[in-house]
A and B are shown apart, each in its own frame.
Chain A
């Protein structure tokens, strides 16, 4: 029931994707890019992602991204017969990914013990907002709440503005990345033990792992990290600066050498040679002054002109692109950072390309999310041993959906 024609390092890896908005399904999307065979289980009414965000020709565009590379099977898991279908699919799967509220899977009879009885190598990844333990385990666990809970939102934004939520589901997407390496680590371990296992992941801890030194700083110095806008306390100068043509340039000086090159590029050899500004710790004490000098230089130049000078001097500086600029950028084009696919519903469609570029076994985005609910239900169930009349009956009963 799993096709094995894909290329890429994960060819032959078989994944059942039971999740919805967004952490679970994004794992299937990434691993599918690298060749894994992903079967997405969606409810007969269609996955909720289909109805989110902008639509075109009756198709949700976000769905095109999230459901790429996936075969679609429409099954109602809340019905005993639907759960039974899933158990049969699970026999041949390497990995199941689910992000229902903790307890749901068990309520449907889809606990790990039952699922792995006939397939001891099965890996089951649970994702939820707060995790499967602790007092908040039953709370609804949306990404926004995890972003707020983890401290990410509190520290994001301008110092004199409100805590700022991100404009995309960052907690979900970040958790998906953690989920990708989590399940592959379990696959790695299975080689020696021959056994799968159950793993759990939550949204706020995944995000917290990105927040560098916030935890240790509070623990050791009592500092409560605040919103600081674009300045950094650890690296000076670092900011977004407006240019003469009302665009923006960012500058980073994480290493002292790049800060020196910046000073020289804007004609301030005196600052570059000042021993009192030699390190980030020293520059941090005069952040306002340094920042104002850089800002004054930037506003006198157009973005393109400023970047030409800064790049010639090997300064760590770059444009703040909007998506239109990004599409046109020669680096993006050269690397195919945006993949172009032929799509039956939309014609040519562009979505983000593969982030990891494998030299020997490159992955590939094979197709964008398919429009029809349960587009592959019939063929997958047939491969799984269901007879046609049985499939028809399940469709009639509303247990499964197929076009």
Chain B
């Protein structure tokens, strides 16, 4: 085999602040790959390594004409190579890619990577600047580390599920791989923080251990400290808030929904006036959030009754006029139709080779000088870029054929 060169990364052509950054994505389902997705939106060149059978994301969710839709989202902007890393020859290929990488992301069960020979010590011997990010359900340490670590378990373990939902109903799990998405965001900034340190320390990378449940804790505000200091156990409260009244989702006359929030006292007063209840606005006993919490049913009931007598449009027009903090609870259809969403380009139409036109969420952070860019939706065929990448690595036709024949790699294969 030829000397490791890292040449496979020469095709970097992303636009955005991270253009030229090389990311090796060896994860699956979802946290690891989503870190790479986030980085790729901002210009990083991502090579995704998937198993010759095809990544699991290809096989879940909705399909159209046999094509997995979710894959389009998570694998956007990525070049795809298909290699079985559990085979020594496969591991050798990935190791050569790691030589030229800035960031390597994996979310297998703790220990797997080491089994396959990907320990940080040996990886960083070949590439001292490499940042290796591990993501797993419970982290790389502690008694639960080896357990299967799906996002659902992290949502339950962290307390998130326990506090979500209506008080008299079961704890509610989110509809989306929430823990994975949140951990991916934390993983994205962690990897970039390690790159920042690398600049200052003469080029040394780092190894980072991220669990799925710990990033979720940062979303739950004061839950930890309230328990620690006051022994307050946060519980499900439905739509009402313990610290801000009124705050709820209300049904309108045309069977749509409106959300209202009044963290600031002045907003609550404007809301009472907007629904014609100057008496509540002028009541000194309702001036602050703690006071309104005491008379929650009364405040909330007045608002619910008024909103139920008006259509969503009427309610929102009235509230906007009075500068009340309120907005529509959109379903995805309303979101697509919304003028603000259209004006900002929140959603982006792209071409897909199998599906024709396809809409995805566009890059979230708007950089002024060199904006990030969605380049393509997740490519449908397994290992569609294997040949090009391996060629850039200096692997010849014959060797490639052998690797394919022995099932170590897959080249441009339909999902089975």
Contacts and interface: CB of A to CB of B under 8 A. Distances in A.
A179 to B, nearest CB: 8
In this complex, the interface size class of chain B, counting residues with CB under 8 Å from chain A, is 35 or more
A326 B225 contact: no
Given A185-B18, A216-B69, A240 B161 contact: yes
B286 to A, nearest CB: 17
Interface in A138-162: 139-140, 142-145, 147-151, 153-158, 161-162
Contacts of A21: 263
A133 B340 CA distance: 8
Interface stretch (B236-244, B277-285, B380-388, B394-402): B236-244
Given A53-B221, A189-B17, A200 B366 contact: yes
Nearest to B70: A213
A256 B194 CA distance: 35
A145 B327 contact: yes
A291 interface: no
B3 interface: no
B122 to A, nearest CB: 15
Nearest to B231: A324
A64 interface: yes
B259 A311 contact: no
Contacts of B326: 145
A211 B186 contact: no
A219 B69 CA distance: 10
B157 A252 contact: no
Interface stretch (A81-89, A268-276, A334-342, A388-396): A334-342
Given A52-B243, A189-B17, A224-B333, A158 B229 contact: no
A65 B222 contact: yes
B332 A360 contact: no
Interface stretch (A37-45, A226-234, A378-386): A226-234
Contacts of A158: 165-166, 169, 172
Interface residues of A, number: 156
Contacts of B243: 52-54
Interface in B230-286: 230, 232-239, 241-244, 247-249, 251, 257-261, 263-264, 267
B193 A34 contact: yes
A197 B369 contact: yes
B90 interface: no
Given A209-B364, A360-B204, A322 B358 contact: no
A320 B156 contact: yes
B147 interface: yes
A217 B347 CA distance: 13
Interface stretch (B81-89, B177-185, B294-302): B177-185
A165 B249 contact: yes
A163 B200 CA distance: 48
B259 A353 contact: no
A355 interface: yes
Interface string A2-34: 000000111111000000011000100011001
B226 A61 contact: yes
Given A149-B330, A174-B219, A184 B156 contact: no
A174 B206 contact: no
Contact of A335 (B38, B141, B264): B141
A161 B238 CA distance: 10
Contacts of B94: none
Interface in A293-347: 311, 314-324, 326-327, 329-331, 334-335, 337-338, 346
B176 to A, nearest CB: 5
Given A54-B232, A184-B195, 16 more contacts: A151-B330, A164-B172, A165-B259, A168-B163, A199-B367, A213-B61, A213-B62, A217-B69, A281-B59, A331-B144, A337-B217, A351-B228, A352-B217, A352-B220, A356-B209, A358-B194
Shortest Cβ-Cβ A-B pairs, 3 listed: A144-B261, A148-B259, A356-B190
13 contacts: A56-B230, A156-B174, A162-B239, A185-B192, A198-B368, A216-B70, A248-B161, A250-B161, A252-B150, A254-B150, A315-B148, A354-B214, A357-B139
